[in-house]
Amino acid sequence: MAKSEPFGQIAVRMGFVTDSQVQAALEVQRSLESSGKPRRLLGMIMIETGLISTEQLIAILKYYETVEEVERIARKTRAEVSGETPERSDPASTDRPRSG
């Protein structure tokens, strides 16, 4: 899987928050970690501080899901065009025959 775009960048691009709001949420995240508390996901911090709604969080997560599906299809298509099987080009492919 390709490296995903950071959560905050997607939230900004979708118009849910500003860059400065993302930076503030990241500072909260760093502060919590430096005080020895468990790492908090940025989306949860943004919900808890009122920066985004649950619906907006879901929209961002659906974006990630869509990107992953597009990447999976692209890998499969590249493999077919190059004459490889999806298994060789993508070891995590779910399209391979199951043994047993």
User: Is 60 exposed, middle or buried (CB count within 10 Å of its CB: 0-12, 13-18, 19+)?
Assistant: buried
Domain that holds residue 37: 7-89
Asked if the structure places residue 34 within a domain, the reply is: yes
pLDDT, tens digit, 9 for 90 and up, residues 39-58 = 999 999 999 999 999 999 99
Predicted pLDDT of residue 94 = 52
pTM higher than 0.75: no
Asked if the structure places residue 54 within a domain, the reply is: yes
Long-range (24+ apart) CB contacts under 8 A made by 45-51 are: 46/11, 46/17, 46/21, 49/24, 49/25, 51/16, 51/17, 51/21, 51/25
Predicted pLDDT of residue 83 = 84
Number of domains in the chain: 1
50: region left, alpha or beta (phi > 0 left; psi from -120 to 50 alpha):
left
